Amino acid sequence: MHFYLDGEVYTIVEFQHVKPGKGGAFIRTRLRKLKSGATLEKTFRSGERVEPAFVEKVKMQFLYRQGLEIVLMDMESYEQTEVPATEMGDQAKYLKEDMEVLCLKAGSEVLGYEVANFVELAVLQTDPGYRGDTVSGSSTKAATLETGAVIQVPFHINEGDIVKVDTRSDAYLERVKGKG
């Protein structure tokens, strides 16, 4: 659910309905501001009203990078839009040609962009893993992906392997079988 609070659009991340023994019920919430991603904890009393926000998700396609900007194309109108890479945040490092990106709009205002939660990318560069190489005390090594993003992967991952990555946490999930 999306709604307006103090002129900004928020979405509910988590909520808890509380009914104390004495007094009226209330709802504790954790909210996320769509534009900046900042979180806020707020309590709503029963009977409090909020104005709903109708957020439209427009499918766009990543075409290419142009300097510090990212060029996206609306999948319905084929209109191209240049977006500063900073508006995409950390997710920009996972953009690959022809990848689908969702543009979140409330009315005519662009609130942000979303990349898929999971992407499959090839490993361009990583140090070779040696059997029993745990001297460093960790079981992972750095790997540079085809988009330029650097993540931590297990020692058994080699250059050319395709890996599945969670774009929200920058976490390696698994090696994709049959592709690497």
HEC string for 55-118 = EEEEEEEEEEEECCEEEEEECCCCCEEEEEHHHHHHHHHHCCCCCEEEEEEECCEEEEEEECCE
- Cβ pair 143, 129 in contact under 8 A: no
CATH superfamily name and code, 118-175: Nucleic acid-binding proteins (2.40.50.140)
Determine the 3-state secondary structure of 144 from DSSP.
Answer: strand
pLDDT reported for residue 2: 86
The predicted pLDDT at position 134 comes to 54
The predicted structure's pLDDT at residue 169 = 85
Cα separation of 59 and 113, whole Å? 10
Own/partner long-range contacts of 24-33 (Cβ < 8 Å, ≥24 apart): 31/5, 33/8, 33/9
> CATH code for 55-115?
2.40.50.140
Q: What is the CATH number of domain 2-49?
A: 2.30.30.30
So what's the pLDDT on residue 100?
92
**114-126: pLDDT as tens digits:** 888 899 999 988 8
pLDDT at residue number 180: 46
Q: Where are the domains of the chain?
A: 2-49, 55-115, 118-175
pLDDT of residue 63: 92
pLDDT digit string (tens) for the chain, length 180 residues: 788 888 888 888 889 998 988 888 899 999 988 877 788 999 999 888 989 988 888 999 999 988 889 999 998 889 998 988 888 878 888 898 889 999 888 888 888 888 888 999 999 888 886 655 555 556 888 899 998 889 999 888 888 899 999 888 888 998 887 654
Q: What is the mean pLDDT of the chain?
A: 86
Question: Quick check: do 55-115 and 118-175 share a fold?
Answer: yes
Q: Which of 155, 152, 159, 158 is nearest to 173 (CA)?
A: 152
